Structure 1
Amino acid sequence: MTKRRGNGEDSIYRDGDRWRGAVSVGYDDKGRRVRKKVSGRTRAEVARKLKEVREAVDTGTVPDDRITVKAFLERWVSVNLPGTVAESTEDDYADMVRLHLVPALGRKKLNKLTVAEVDRLWNAKREAGYAANSRKNMRNVLRRALAQAEREGLVARNVAALSAAPRAAQREGRTLTLDQAKDLLRSVESHRYGGAITIALAYGLRRGEVLGLLWRNLDWEARTLRLTHAVKRIKDRDKNSGRKTRIVLSELKTAKSRRTLVLTPEIVSKLRALHAEQAKARLALGEAWQDHGLIFPSEVGTPTDPDNFSHMFSKLAQRAGLGHWHPHELRHSGASLMLAQGTPLHVVSEILGHAGIAITKDTYGHLIVDDKRAAAEAMSGALFGG
């Protein structure tokens, strides 16, 4: 008499000239048993495949032969990604998936995706003219998405993490010389955004950070100013608004980016004058003024459009005889000038809000010539001096 097979046991049977098998891999969200099916030319081949499935079940990685890279990435963008990054970053990731990853890899089975296929994608993007940083961002997005697939047991390994990382050469950005910086500040002193330009240069602030400075974070007595928010432009998720983007004032996400600036008496004096001028403007506009508590708002009190600020700054730089400059170059210039004045690298890193001193060193380490010369002379004196 044939022994009856239990519900959880494997089954192997012949179907014409093929052997087929099935094994229970658990239950779905409705409590129904889920069975994984395999096939082969011989019974031994099917038995081997069933053993591999059982081992995957035991380790918590059950392959799903049906889900494609496209289906998984679209689900990751809509379900897993929201709330884990800033909205602007979420939009960037979604664009990366839609424009680059899905067109190239979307039709492939998720659990069949290989390191070689991912490497070929990065090479294709390089040949198409995409910069190393762009390719690096694509890899980071795919690696983050596949980490979720790995946690869910949909893939045995993260092939994006195993792929070759594009090497991005560190480019040395332009910096204002000390004389150019002085010329610029003299030229913009009477401009309504002169204070914003001064602070961005003096402390190496990002464009959004200087536009997000708040009066309530300014301690007049202690002469400190706390950075907690930034102004940015993000996609408008309201389909009924008729706008593609909107400007928001959002909190800085990381502890390193939320930092305190120590103000000099000269900058405090400029801020006091600006505070008085803003009070007059607020009274003159009356109800038309939309108060957000910003130190550098628009003419009606709302957050300043970062793009408008960039265009305005470029015009002011040209008027000062410097040619076209971008606000981000104020950040690079500020860091360079701080180092030139002998400010320790770790202090510059904290003022800039870098996640770690290694980032500051990689970006600006080539500027610390005097420290290296002093160290060399000290060693020379110790080894060869009298």
Structure 2
Amino acid sequence: MWVGAAYVLMPDGTVKRRPVYGKSEEVVRKKLTELQADSNQGIPANATGWTVARFIVYWLDEIVRRTRKPATYDNYAVIVNSHIVPGLGRKRLDKLTAADVRLFLRQMEATCLCCKLGKDERRPLKARRCCALGACCRSLPSRRLVQLVHAVLRSALQAAVREELVRRNVATLVQVSAPKYGINRGLTVEQARALLGAARSDRLYALIVLALYLGLRRGELLGLYWSDINSADETLTVRRTLQRTGGSLRLVTPKTERSERTLPLLGVVADALREHRKLQEAERHVAGARWVDSGHVFTTLIGTPIEPGNLRRHWEPMRRAAGLDGVVFHGLRHTCVTLLLDLGVPPHIVREIAGHAAIEVTMTIYAHASMGERRRALQRLDEHLR
């Protein structure tokens, strides 16, 4: 074993003596030459005191928490604590390789989440039925989850590169299979009409109308204020979204920059909002001193903001009354987009209405020609050529 040492630039800006090791004098001299060349160019040596766990926790608290939305921080923290730290946490940050990341992801793909996270063990003894009893249920992670774990790790390592703790992001060298998104056409016209009929007598009828006609997300609907509605211009502006994060309700900026948008109010939407305002005034009168003037358009019976989870429970009776088995609330947003596309509205206009970040989202996730549309298109070609 050969040993050499040189004074080189460190990530914290100091100059320290860094030893290198090799099986021959030639190997050691090469390493020393590279270290000194990088140092002369202002490139610091890799940090040796960081593990993946230590850095990724630092990244979460000092970078993600300060620059991302609270819900994003919460989601990243779950992925880090449940998958990345247990799988790669003990690895030295400067020694992490693409092979390590690839092996970690392959092992994750083949590991039952129920066994790994102890889901069955958390159930009462009488309710346990699989992994806690030695009968693995083989609840393997989805492609989407594997992709998310890889994306979070890649983002963290990129921050390590910017912090000059490592020289390259090894996660970018590993490819993962992209999930296949099912084409979601939302409700048919008949189903949408049935839903509006079933919801007509509900106190949140206007919320269903806005979701169906304007494609607003759940958080955007619950974060809507009366001050966001301009009666003179007949417009509605999406400025914020309501989320439950960190044990409390928070108003945050919309999902993307394009999500902050102004939409015209007309027809059924305008009528539904006028009726809803009268209904809210009546509820304010009934509540009396218990009323909380939150300023939200959609509130509880005493004026407080509606919990996102409670809206999901409120949706179920309306869904069943309309005969829409298995349709989630977000399906109303899908319906708005797909019906607009079916009517021949240009995709860039649909994108502006829905607030998608890119037109590729509008076309890839939502645009899908039905068999009838395909038949009509080929019929026109047949007639044209004939």
Q: Give the structure-1-normalised TM-score.
A: 0.85
1:209 to 213, 220, 223: 220
Separation in 1 of the partners of 2:182 and 2:42? 45
1:47 to 29, 34, 40: 29
Percent of aligned pairs with the same residue? 34
2:55 to 60, 69, 72: 72
* CA apart distance, 1:42: 3.7
Change over 3 Å in CA distance of 1:35–1:348 after alignment to 2: same
Return the letter of the residue paired with 1:54.
Q
Return the letter of the residue paired with 2:70.
E
Matching of residues 313-324 of structure 1 within 5 Å: 313-324=315-326
> Alpha carbon RMSD of aligned pairs, Å?
2.3
1:221 to 232, 235, 245: 232
Deviations 1:257-292 (A, max 9, x none): 001222222221221121122123223334422222
CA contact (8 A) 1:220 1:268 kept: no
1:338 to 337, 340, 351: 340
Alignment of 1:192 onto 2:194: no
Gaps of 5+ in 2: 112-139
Return the letter of the residue paired with 1:21.
G
Deviations 1:202-260 (A, max 9, x none): 1222111111221111122322111111111112xxxxxxxxx2222222253200012
Matching of residues 162-311 of structure 1 within 5 Å: 162-173=173-184, 175-235=186-246, 245-252=247-254, 254-311=256-313
Give secondary structure in 1 for the equivalent of 2:66: coil
Matching of residues 72-111 of structure 1 within 5 Å: 72-111=55-94
1:153 to 134, 143, 164: 164
Give secondary structure in 2 for the equivalent of 1:354: coil
Equivalent residue number for residue 4 of structure 1: none
* CA apart distance, 1:46: 2.1
Separation in 2 of the partners of 1:362 and 1:34? 53
* CA apart distance, 1:378: 6.7
* CA apart distance, 1:196: 0.4
Equivalent residue number for residue 123 of structure 2: none
1:115 to 71, 94, 98: 98
* CA apart distance, 1:370: 7.6
CA contact (8 A) 2:211 2:332 kept: yes
Separation in 2 of the partners of 1:371 and 1:62? 61
* CA apart distance, 1:305: 0.7
Return the letter of the residue paired with 1:64.
A
Give secondary structure in 2 for the equivalent of 1:67: coil
Alignment of 1:35 onto 2:46: no
CA contact (8 A) 2:351 2:358 kept: yes
Question: Alignment length, in residue pairs?
Answer: 357
CA contact (8 A) 1:231 1:304 kept: no
Separation in 2 of the partners of 1:105 and 1:167? 22
Change over 3 Å in CA distance of 1:193–1:216 after alignment to 2: same
* CA apart distance, 1:335: 1.7
Separation in 1 of the partners of 2:7 and 2:74? 39
Which of 102-111 and 124-133 deviates more? 124-133
Deviations 1:89-134 (A, max 9, x none): 0111111111111111111111221112212222222223111111
CA contact (8 A) 2:242 2:252 kept: yes
Return the letter of the residue paired with 1:69.
V
Separation in 2 of the partners of 1:205 and 1:370? 28
Give secondary structure in 2 for the equivalent of 1:316: helix
CA contact (8 A) 1:183 1:320 kept: yes
Give secondary structure in 2 for the equivalent of 1:108: coil
Separation in 1 of the partners of 2:375 and 2:38? 59
Give secondary structure in 2 for the equivalent of 1:367: coil
* CA apart distance, 1:194: 1.0
Alignment of 1:19 onto 2:21: no
Return the letter of the residue paired with 1:89.
T
Larger Rg: 1
Separation in 1 of the partners of 2:235 and 2:95? 56
Return the letter of the residue paired with 1:73.
I
Change over 3 Å in CA distance of 1:371–1:325 after alignment to 2: closer
Change over 3 Å in CA distance of 1:262–1:368 after alignment to 2: farther
Give secondary structure in 2 for the equivalent of 1:81: helix
Which of 297-306 and 367-376 deviates more? 367-376
Separation in 2 of the partners of 1:39 and 1:127? 37
Separation in 2 of the partners of 1:146 and 1:32? 22
Alignment of 1:125 onto 2:108: yes
CA contact (8 A) 1:335 1:348 kept: yes
Separation in 2 of the partners of 1:28 and 1:176? 56
CA contact (8 A) 1:21 1:38 kept: yes
Matching of residues 351-362 of structure 1 within 5 Å: 351-362=353-364
CA contact (8 A) 1:19 1:42 kept: yes
CA contact (8 A) 1:223 1:264 kept: yes
CA contact (8 A) 1:214 1:293 kept: yes
